[in-house]
Amino acid sequence: MHDSPVERILLSEGAIRDRVAELGAAVSRDYAGRELVMLAVLRGAAIFAADLSRAVATPHLLDFVGLESYGHATHSSGRVRLTTAMPEHAAQRHVLIVEDIFDSGRTLSWLIRELQPLAPLSVEVCTLLVKDRSRAERGVRVRYEGFHIPDEFVVGYGLDFAQRYRHLPYIGVLRRDLRDQ
Ligand code: IMP
Ligand code: MG
């Protein structure tokens, strides 16, 4: 794949589309008749959330929360901060956190803790990707997951490396020479 930023494609555009439709159907079923807010984590989950929201038939709010934990590194620093206002819509609603990838679980465990003062009716997690070596660290339970992927650094469909490659319609393993620059 000359000129491609990935050394191999893990999930094609079509595979992602089909799986998002399945996840949307499951969420629609589980949240029928409940006040749901889908809370997507910026910036990585923005594209997934846009597609998932349209695959969820039951009425819901779509909100976003900005979290920063990565900088330019390719592994979690464990330090998280909110870059947007608190998601007030979470109060008195069922919250479904929408995340791009579950790796160490640190980011999500931090967010779930921050939401508690808003008194959400429930908090669940929907992540598009789970890395194979991931463990449900610190009690984070993932209710919906799209795909298990090998423990490699991936980009595309919202996932970035130093803010690049989010626009790719597929998910692939970033070329090593691009990571090392
Ligand atoms: P965690 O806190 O270790 O679970 O890290 C989760 C966050 O790290 C995700 O929301 C992503 O933003 C980022 N991340 C983890 N693995 C990758 C990857 O392979 N590619 C791009 N971003 C990643
Ligand atoms: Mg993220």
Side by side, which strands form the sheet with 171-174? 6-11, 171-174, 154-155
Tens digit of each residue's pLDDT (9 = 90 or more) over 111-167: 999 999 999 999 999 999 999 876 655 568 899 999 999 999 999 999 999 999 999
Verify whether residue 103 is a known catalytic residue.
Answer: yes
122 or 87, which is more confident: 122
CB of 104 within 6 A of ligand 1: the answer is yes
Nearest C-alpha neighbor of 111 from the set 101, 125, 93, 127? 125
Q: What is the mean pLDDT of the chain?
A: 91
| Centre of ligand 1 from the C-alpha of residue 159, in Å | 8
CB of 154 within 6 A of ligand 1: the answer is yes
Whole-number pLDDT of residue 106: 84
Q: In the predicted model, is pLDDT for residue 68 greater than 60? A: yes
Instruction: Please tell me the residue having the least CA distance from ligand 1 atom 22.
Output: 159
For the chain, what percent of residues have pLDDT higher than 70?
Answer: 90
Tens digit of each residue's pLDDT (9 = 90 or more) over 45-61: 999 999 999 999 999 99
For the chain, what percent of residues have pLDDT higher than 90?
Answer: 75
Active-site residue identified among 103, 151, 177, 180: 103
**How far apart, in whole angstroms, are the C-alpha atoms of residue 10 and residue 14?**
12
CB of 42 within 6 A of ligand 1: the answer is no
74-90 mean pLDDT: 80
Residue 110 CA: which ligand 1 atom is closest? 2
Instruction: Please tell me the residue having the least CA distance from ligand 1 atom 19.
Output: 153
Residue 100 CA: which ligand 1 atom is closest? 10
Tokens of 91: 């109060």
| Centre of ligand 1 from the C-alpha of residue 169, in Å | 18
Q: In the predicted model, is pLDDT for residue 77 greater than 70? A: no
Whole-number pLDDT of residue 75: 57
Nearest C-alpha neighbor of 76 from the set 39, 114, 110? 110
CB of 63 within 6 A of ligand 1: the answer is no
